[in-house]
Amino acid sequence: MTQQVPPTELSERSEPTVLSEPRLTGVRNFRDVGGLPTVDGRRVRPGRLFRSGHLAHATAEDAAFLTSLGLHTVFDFRNAADQRLEGPDVALPGVRNVNLPLTDPADGAEFWKMVRDGDLDQLRAVLSDGQAAGRMSSSYRTIIKERTAEHSRVLHALAEDSVPALMHCAAGKDRAGLSIAVTLLAVGVERDAIEADYLESNAAHRRYKVHRTSDSANAMSPEVMELLNPLFDARAEYLAAAFETIEQTWGDTDTYLSEGLKVAPRTRERLRERLLD
């Protein structure tokens, strides 16, 4: 979600819940959002919209698989600090890469440094008693309210020519999760289905272990991990905060899309034609 995400490594993978889902080595949290139901009885067409973590560590085999998807555009929502930390995405032949940072690299830099390097007392001071979860909900609200131009650009690009598309951030959970959610709202996917897809980022084979700078015995203690978990969980309350912000700021989803994101009815219809069955 936010900038300067602490260094991470892939967790031990379990068997995927979807048998056809690829086992990518260097790309976290990849999935096709096809199959999700809309309120009018349609479904998102498979092979049109994908989501994942960053592509900087994709292996040659991963890149070959991603190329086989026939992608038109990769939307990268990382900021400059993320890209310095993780590296640029691998180049996929014939695929356009659009970088649309959804967070400011200066915002929270000291916070994420503390997450990587801080001792237990420091972590308790800023993460305990619901502070970590509160920070996440607040960041979701901020992205919805302040990144309307970026989300508008994504929806217009998808309506014009940018499908099939892959959306990613660092871990594929927060910024990509919100952007996927906004796209799914625009084509009328049921809210419960949007939430279920979002929460898939918690699946055992998608999650990754947090790596902290310190190698001391206490660096990854149960208490430390309990403090850090809200930052790396996908929680329904975070997505609910985004939806509540839409309603509090614009009144309803249709007004958010038309006035907040400047997406006209004809553009939404083109999105439905491109993304739904």
Cβ neighbours of 55 (radius 10 Å): 26
The active-site residue, picked from 66, 85, 169, 227, is: 169
135 alpha-carbon distance from chain centroid = 16
Distances (CA, A) of 4 to 116, 133, 172, 175: 10, 18, 14, 13
- Identify each DSSP E strand in 147-273 by its residue range: 165-168, 208-210
Buried-exposed string 118-145: b where 16+ CB fall within 10 A, e elsewhere: beeeebeeebeeeebbebbbebbbbbbe
Structure tokens at 267: 């553009």
Q: How far apart are CA 122 and CA 136, in angstroms?
A: 18
* 106 catalytic per annotation: no
Bridge-based pairing of strands 208-210 and 165-168 is: unpaired
The residues annotated as belonging to the active site are 169
